[in-house]
Amino acid sequence: MKVNLSDTRKIIQQYRNKKGTLIPLLQEIQAIYGYVPKESIELISKELLIYPVKIYGILTFYTQFYLTPRGKHTIIVCQGTACHVMGGKDILDYLSNKLGISEGETTKEGMFSLERAACLGCCGMAPVVVIDNNFYGMCDIQKVDALVKEYRSKEANR
Amino acid sequence: MIKNSQQLNAFAKEIQTKKEKYKGKTIAICNGSSCRALGADKITQLIRDEIKKHNLDVDVVNVLTTGCHGFCERGPLMIIQPEEIFYQKIKPEDVPEIITETIIDDRIIDKLIYNDPKTKKKIVYKPDISFYKKQMRLLFESNEHINPKKIDDYIGIGGYSALAKALTMEPEAIIEEILKAGLRGRGGGGFLTGWKWKFCRNEKNDTKYVICNAAGAFIARSISEGNPHSVIEGMIIGAYAIGAYKGYIYVRHGYPLAIENFNLAIESAKEFGILGQNILESGFDFEIVISRGCGEFIAGESSALIASIEGKAAIPRPKHIHATEKGLWNRPTLLNNIETWANIPFIINRGADCYASVGSEKSKGTKIFSLVGKVNSTGLIEVPMGITLREVIFDIGGGMINGKKFKAVQIGGPSGGLVPESLLDLHLDFDSLKEAGTIMGSSEMIVFDEDNCMVDTAKFFIKYLMDESCGKCTPCREGLVQMHDILCQITDGKGREEHLDMLQELAWGIANTSLCQLGKSAPNPVLSTLKYFKDEYETHIRDKKCPAGVCKALIEYIIDSEKCIGCTLCAKRCPVNAISGEKKNPHEIDPMICIKCGICYEVCPVNAVERK
């Protein structure tokens, strides 16, 4: 698949000649493409005179960046301490089993990506699951089961 | 635009008089991230619609969308002022009743009031709720009275008056005041804030920076979302005291509401002349920029955070040269935690002596903790330093869920130690926590009960820290992997006697040879569990049993044929079809297929499933 680089160009223009902006720049690229395409990395490197290795260094250091396309919906299961104590691991295991993918992977039909987070900062309603920036608190297996169904049927009705 | 402190004062007076004259009710709805996740934004909209429907005037009722109230577990929350009626777990269908009953007819709605889990009594008013009673909310209280998106609200409760006062003081005098107050860094280390300021002030450099670390978890999120102006006010005072003209707020990219509220706060402060050039006609200029950081645990370490703002990987550097000397872009930098900054306006306004009268001998003021895990009331609490663990867990937290037995509490985040029941009278302050083998760290308090396995818990934390290690130092990068491997062997039933000594040795090496605090504190979960719960390790190793019934390799599920009524519920719910049996006849679990998920154990109506 060919990547349309005009958005990358626009973003690079915004960040040209500014100090310490590589991370926000990459965050914006990811916000548009859903991941950071190889082609964009090459362009950033050429335009801003940054070695690709430095960009890859950043991308692979921070867990928020993805180098491959994501599913339509990203499910993040919080694995922070509070969520762990309240059963967050069981939820992750269950979803991984149900969707047939490990964390960091995307289902074959491209519907769901499964991720873990170190802490999402709403520990009072642990365990927490986030689907596309929608937070769901006090989850259990039944609740996430219903959520997966809900997102699937939303897509089917589209 | 406010030009000087007289105008600021006059404006604040105006808002206060208006508030005092107001005779109607105010519905303060928590719109913090947790309550929003539970549906608070929808409820806010419905309340507004319903008010319109009944043609209620603003003189009768007004709606205030606030930041976090702390009692997140009970969300969505609302407090109806002036009576302080506390409604919790509000559902969209309750909204019409709230307006007709409580607002119009002054009647309390029974089903929405709080039911104390300990005394089983129903409690109507917020100050009577035990979760709030023992707290001392010097920083947090204002969250309930202001809309974080409106600077007027903040000025109305006396906001920015500390700044106006500070700008008339000599910078050295401000630093003296902070020193005298005894404020210690809320980021976990507990270094005296005033000293940091003094070092930075003494540096001769034209360009200095102040940084606010708002990248923490629960606590940082609630302050940034609920009261961003208090942080900005603290930062301006700090910048004035050390002579900095630019500040950064490092917020997590994953907290959109925090970023939004900070942005709004900065913009409105600029419009009011509180940020920017010639602040309140003092001749002092200061600007604040938001740096959208990452959610990495290591980014909380000061030098790693600075690297992240510079656009590099968040990897710590040796600290023989402090950030106060050479920090961001190699310039003197004053980096404080968000909670530290939020304390500054209070100290300047009320004076060092007033601040120092709260807390314990060496740790002053209040501290915000996140209280989570197996206690009845979870959420964010603000307590005076020196309060005992017992008071926090059993009075504020309302005791253990389902009356289970308390086992341990972990304090300070993943790299904190686990504290057993025998230490429940421990005072919560920097020094006593250190003595007990844990840290103030991120001020998280996680309560464990008898159903939690301590070996498994230690394994979880080591795995967490192993994943979050930046990889710079070998002891932390490799040592944690080895520790995790040993812990896995123990929980898998392959533990050997010598493993315990090996864990001790690895822990010593990691703690003493790592560069940053993440590495130095990483062995705490293992060291503390080895100290206080050694018997659990021994049972795993010698008897190949997990007393808490958590470690899957060491347990099995069996259906008691005497008790089983053949309801088929377990067979229906089993995700791998490991349960067989005829209706109304005893069922059986095939151990070869069973994945030990425990669903059958949970769903059985007659407790016929046993875990051994």
User: Per the CB < 8 Å rule, is B295 touching A117?
Assistant: yes
Both A88 and A152 in a single domain? yes
Buried b (16+ CB within 10 A) or exposed e, B377-402: bbbbbbbbbbbbbebbbbbbbbbbbe
Fold of B556-611: Alpha-Beta Plaits (3.30.70)
User: Per the CB < 8 Å rule, is B72 touching A121?
Assistant: no
Which of A27, A84, A124 is the closest to B460 by Cβ? A84
pLDDT range class, residue B98, cuts 50, 70, 90? very high
- B118 to chain A, closest Cα gap in Å: 19
| Inter-residue contact B446 to B407 (CB < 8 Å) | no
Asked, as a colleague might, if the bond just before B345 is cis with ω within 30 of 0, I would say: no
| Inter-residue contact B588 to B580 (CB < 8 Å) | yes
Both A78 and A130 in a single domain? yes
The DSSP 8-state label assigned to residue B302 in this structure reads H
Alpha-carbon gap, residue B159 to B145, rounded angstroms: 12
Average pLDDT over every residue of B31-60: 92
Whole-number average pLDDT of chain B: 93
pLDDT tens digits for range B437-456 = 899 988 999 999 999 999 99
User: Per the CB < 8 Å rule, is A82 touching B444?
Assistant: yes
Fold of B454-543: de novo design (two linked rop proteins) (1.20.1440)
Give the architecture-level CATH label for domain B366-449.
Roll (3.10)
Task: Supply B389's token pair.
Answer: 């663990």
Q: What pLDDT, on the 0 to 100 scale, is given for residue B254?
A: 78
Average pLDDT over every residue of B539-567: 92
Both A16 and A87 in a single domain? no
A35 part of a folded domain:
yes
- B239 to chain A, closest Cα gap in Å: 21
| Residues comprising chain A, all counted | 158
pLDDT tens digits for range B292-333 = 887 778 888 899 999 999 989 999 998 888 999 999 999 999
Both A111 and A141 in a single domain? yes
| Inter-residue contact B211 to B333 (CB < 8 Å) | yes
The DSSP 8-state label assigned to residue B359 in this structure reads B
pLDDT-above-70 percentage for chain B: 100
Residue B223 has pLDDT above 90, yes or no: yes
| Inter-residue contact B27 to B64 (CB < 8 Å) | yes
pLDDT tens digits for range B480-536 = 999 999 999 999 999 999 999 999 999 999 999 999 988 999 999 999 999 999 999
Both A42 and A93 in a single domain? no
User: Per the CB < 8 Å rule, is B448 touching A58?
Assistant: no
Amino acid letter, residue B58: V
Chain A residues with CB-CB distance to B under 8 A?
19-24, 27, 57-58, 61-64, 79-82, 84-86, 89-90, 93-94, 97, 117-126, 128, 133-137, 141
pLDDT tens digits for range B143-176 = 999 999 999 999 999 999 999 999 999 999 999 9
Chain centre to alpha carbon of residue B188: 13
- A23's CB contacts (< 8 A; 6+ apart) are A58, A62, B292, B293, B294, B308, B311
Q: What pLDDT, on the 0 to 100 scale, is given for residue B215?
A: 85
ipTM above 0.90, yes or no: no
Residue A1 has pLDDT above 80, yes or no: no
User: Per the CB < 8 Å rule, is B296 touching A63?
Assistant: yes
Both A113 and A152 in a single domain? yes
Tokens 């300021």, residue located = B197
Report the CATH number at residue A127: 3.40.30.10
Q: What pLDDT, on the 0 to 100 scale, is given for residue B364?
A: 95
A67 part of a folded domain:
no
| Inter-residue contact B442 to B412 (CB < 8 Å) | yes
Both A42 and A90 in a single domain? no
Helix/strand/coil for B612: coil
CATH 3.40.50.11540 at B151-356, yes or no: yes
Both A78 and A123 in a single domain? yes
Q: How many angstroms separate the Cα of B368 from the Cα of each of A1, B21, B315?
A: 50, 33, 27
Alpha-carbon gap, residue A80 to A127, rounded angstroms: 9
User: Per the CB < 8 Å rule, is A125 touching B312?
Assistant: no
Radius of gyration of chain B (CA): 27
Average pLDDT over every residue of B558-585: 91
Both A15 and A85 in a single domain? no
Interface size between A and B, measured as CB pairs under 8 A: 142
Amino acid letter, residue B534: K
Domain around A56: 6-61
Residue A28 has pLDDT above 70, yes or no: yes
Both A77 and A49 in a single domain? no
- Determine phi and psi for A21, rounding to 5 degrees: -110, 10
Q: At what angle do helices A38-48 and A6-15 cross, to 10 degrees?
A: 40
- B577 to chain A, closest Cα gap in Å: 14
Q: Boundaries of CATH 3.40.50.11540 in chain B?
A: 151-356
Q: What pLDDT, on the 0 to 100 scale, is given for residue B289?
A: 94
Residue B446: list chain A partners with CB under 8 A.
Answer: 81-82, 85
Both A98 and A150 in a single domain? yes
A106 part of a folded domain:
yes
A66 part of a folded domain:
no
Q: Boundaries of CATH 3.40.30.10 in chain B?
A: 21-129
pLDDT range class, residue B244, cuts 50, 70, 90? very high
Name which residue leads in pLDDT, B509 or A82: B509
User: Per the CB < 8 Å rule, is A123 touching B372?
Assistant: yes
The beta strands (E) that lie in chain A are given as 73-78, 112-117, 129-131, 134-136
Helix/strand/coil for B609: strand
pLDDT tens digits for range B100-114 = 999 999 999 999 999
Query: Which of B183-192, B249-258, B342-351 is the most confident on average?
Result: B342-351
Both A55 and A95 in a single domain? no
For chain A, what is the domain count?
2
User: Per the CB < 8 Å rule, is B444 touching A57?
Assistant: no
Q: Boundaries of CATH 3.30.70.20 in chain B?
A: 556-611
Say which CATH class B21-129 falls into: alpha beta
Which of B190, B180, B186, B179 has its CA nearest to residue B431? B190
